[in-house]
Amino acid sequence: MKLFNTKLIIVGIVSICLCSLNANSVSAKSLSEIENKYNNVGKMVTNEISNFLISKNKKDVQSLTEDELSQLVFRVNDIKKQHHNIYVEYDNFLRQSKNDRNTWNWAGDAFATVDRWLVPNFNHGHAAIASRDVNATIEALAGGVQKIWDGNQRWDHKRCRAKYHGMAGGVYRIVGLDYNQRISASDYASWQIGKGYDWLFWTWDDNTFYCSELVYKAWRYAGKTMSYSNPLWGHMVLPADIMLSPDTYLIEDWLTWNNGNYPSGSSCLKP
């Protein structure tokens, strides 16, 4: 009887080991397949940018006019929307945990637009990072880094500009950060409140910030360095880079925002 029980135990242990090995193999294979799909979408984004620049006879994104830049972002957004499930699936594999969301679920995500607001002849647009506080954004503006408590509503103007005037924009999430990490990104941005605006742009310290630099460094602090191409001065990151990066995907597409309803209170005029 003891011998029989011992055999059963051995068989059970072997079965468990084999099942565990098989499950790990399936997980590894699935992750490899998802990574390949994600990388293929990234190549599609990169190729779209390259082909567009060739068609416009431009050497880099910074050389595009505002209208051309919007056209390019719209094209890249189309790719990201078509393959949204791949981004989400890959993002879920990279996340370590999923906690209950008792704060704004956009915390740590980026608001970005190509709509210029500061330097008329420079296609830089604007970017902000969502605070952990509901509807608030943290933005590097001319007056320095600030928390805009009704930031989500204030961005209605940019949503309207995207929807009715062809100015590309949206809310973007970077892959690879779980919710806690996105909260960390938001917190990093909060710690910079009160610091000045980086008017030199090519400086790369943490004493001053321009808008997209704040978003980029917040994500990097939280654990994800966003990839982007052809940076000015070796590292400058533009709002367009956030929208065009193969590492980001759309959380809110402003072309289809608000189900076609005109935003009340926005200073943007419907054509």
CB atoms within 10 A of CB 194: 9
Q: What tokens were used for 182?
A: 């996105």
Helix (H) or strand (E) holding 172: strand 169-174
pLDDT number for residue 94? 67
90, 92, 94, 106: which is closest to 183 by C-alpha?
106
pLDDT number for residue 210? 92
Chain segment 37-78, per-residue pLDDT in tens: 888 998 999 899 989 999 999 888 878 888 888 899 989 999
CA distance linking residue 185 with residue 217, whole number of Å:
8
pLDDT number for residue 63? 83
DSSP letter (8 states) at residue 263: P
DSSP letter (8 states) at residue 236: B
pLDDT number for residue 207? 92
CA distance linking residue 188 with residue 175, whole number of Å:
18
pLDDT range class, residue 238, cuts 50, 70, 90:
confident
Question: Is 162 or 34 the better-scoring residue by pLDDT?
Answer: 34
The full 3-state SS of 138-149, as one line of letters, equals: EEEECCEEEEEC
pLDDT number for residue 16? 38
Reported as half-sphere exposure (CB side, CA atoms, 13 A), residue 44 has a value of: 15
CA distance linking residue 172 with residue 157, whole number of Å:
17
Residues 20-27 have a mean pLDDT of 40
Residue carrying structure tokens 């980026």: 110
pTM: 0.77
Chain segment 107-158, per-residue pLDDT in tens: 999 999 887 655 555 567 889 999 988 889 999 998 999 999 988 878 877 7
Reported as half-sphere exposure (CB side, CA atoms, 13 A), residue 177 has a value of: 29
